[in-house]
Structure formats: structure tokens, C-alpha cells
Amino acid sequence: MKAIALFASLTLLTTALPANLAAQEVAKAAETQDEIITGGSKISEEAAIVPPALTIEGLKAADLEPTFQTVAVVLETEMGDITIALETERAPITAANFLRYIDEDRLDGTVFYRAMHIKWGEPPNGLLQGGTQNHPDRILDPIAHETTTQTGLSHTNGAVSMARFDPGTATGDFSIMIKDQIGLDAQPKSPDPSMQPGFAVFGYVTSGMDVVHAIHAAPIDPDEGEGWLKGQMLADPVKIIDARRVEPAED
């Protein structure tokens, strides 16, 4: 942008000054241009090109991708770490609830206990569930249900979503999506009332999906679980050793 403005000023100089002075002023302006673009050092012409991100087109593209506030947390498990970006701006109620469970150490010592496998598509496909399992000493009061139509979030690969019974009953259990499971999003126009509210996405895994896949692939106990949960319970649940906030990197 500075280079464009300087080129325009060069044109004005040649038209406004007498011929015998114009050449001197043009040369002086060119030296000034070099100072601004190269910082006074001699570099190649290619190196002085304005980066695409600083062009008008680049700035417009950046404007089309809004950023939202998130808080990073890590679940340290027996099989490795899973890092999650909590959507504290877009899903403030649900993300704040999960942070409270972390800050009060309510997830430490809990387990990933359920691995739902979906038969269609390329494996792995389904979800991994963990958390407090409604243990009375661990759970807090249920929270209000934030639908995906309210938050703009979706059950895409790596999304973290609250487990619940009826809307407004979620406490300390959660699921991680493996592949897109957008059928769990809110469907307000569905003729089935149970499908309308969907489930509440509140974050996304940013690293450690390999750990999620490894836990999901662990052996299933065919006899464990009741009703539709039977055949989805891990034979050896994987412990969450420590759940904590990720400390910001120092500048």
C-alpha cells in the first residue's frame, strides 16, 4: 500500500516541478521509497514486494474470516493428551460450565467410557464419550441448553458436545465427534420434536485426535451397558488423569 502511494506521488512531482528540478526530486523520492520498503538496506526487488496478506485483496479475505474468543484446555489421559479450544464467546454458558468442572478438578480421575461406532463411511466414525457419569460428588447443577442455531457451531469432526437426557439436563459428561455428525445439530424444522433441539457444541479438538481415535478403537465389553448403550462401553475405560487450562505462551 505504501508503495502504491509513493508511485502516485512520483507522478505528481514530475508534473508540478520545472524540468531541471523534477529529475532531482524524483530521485530523492525514489530514495525515500527505498527507505520505507527496505528499511534502508539493499534487498532484492522480489523481497520488497508487499505480502499478499497486506494487499487490499488480502485484507478483504481476512475480514471474511471472523475470529472468536476461545480458551484452550488439555485433557491428560492415560493414552495421551487431547487439547480443546472452548468456544467461550459463541457458547458462553456451556463453555463456562466445562471450565468450572476443570477449574474445580471435577474431571480429574473420570474416564472415557463409551465408544459409539457408526458402520457407514470410512472408519473410524462415531463418537467418544467421557466425564462424570452423573456421579453425585462430581456433578454441578444442570445448565441451560445452547442450540447450534444459537451458537452457529456444528457437530463436525473434532467437535466437543454435551451429553444429556432432555434439553437443560447437561452436567459433566461430554462427547467428541469422530467424522462429521451434523445430524446431532439442532433441527428446528424437524417433524420429530426430539430432534429439534439437537445437542450443544461448545468446543473443538485442536490437537490429539490421534489419541481420540486410539481410545475409540479400544476393545468393547459386549455385555456392558443398558439398552441402546449395550455394545458401546469400553472394556477398560481410559482415565483422564488431569484436566487443566493451557497456560498462554509468554511473549
Q: Which residue spans of the chain are classified as CATH 2.40.100.10?
A: 71-245
Q: Quickly list H helices, 122-204.
A: 148-151
Q: What is the pLDDT of residues 140-175, one digit of tens each?
A: 999 999 999 999 999 999 999 999 999 999 999 999
Average per-residue pLDDT for the chain? 82
User: Would you state the pLDDT for residue 3?
Assistant: 33
Q: Quick check: helix, strand or coil at residue 117?
A: strand
**Residue range 69-98: mean pLDDT, rounded:** 98
> Lowest-confidence range among 28-32, 76-80, 89-93, 182-186?
28-32
Output the CA–CA distances (angstroms, integers) from residue 119 to 76, 123, 168, in the order listed: 29, 8, 30
Cβ proximity of 53 and 60 under 8 Å = no
Percent of the chain with pLDDT over 90: 69
String of DSSP letters for 232-251: -EEEEEEEEEEEEEPPPPP-
Interacting residues of 24 by C-beta distance below 8 A, sequence separation 6+: none
Q: Check pLDDT > 80 for residue 59.
A: no
Its pTM stands at 0.75
Q: Check pLDDT > 50 for residue 7.
A: no
In 3D, which of 249, 247, 251, 214 has the Cα closest to residue 73? 247
Q: What is the CATH number of domain 71-245?
A: 2.40.100.10
CA distance 223 to 204: 32
User: Would you state the pLDDT for residue 63?
Assistant: 60
Q: Check pLDDT > 50 for residue 58.
A: yes
Q: Check pLDDT > 60 for residue 238.
A: yes
Q: Check pLDDT > 80 for residue 242.
A: yes
Q: Quickly list H helices, the chain.
A: 2-16, 19-38, 56-63, 92-103, 148-151, 209-216
Dihedral sign from CA coordinates of 139, 145, 146, 147: positive
Q: Could you give the maximum distance between any two Cα atoms of the chain, in Å?
A: 96
Q: What is the pLDDT of residues 210-224, one digit of tens each?
A: 999 999 999 999 999
Per-residue confidence at 33, pLDDT binned at 50, 70, 90? Answer: very low
Interacting residues of 61 by C-beta distance below 8 A, sequence separation 6+: none
User: Would you state the pLDDT for residue 248?
Assistant: 80
All three cell numbers of 234, joined, read 469400553
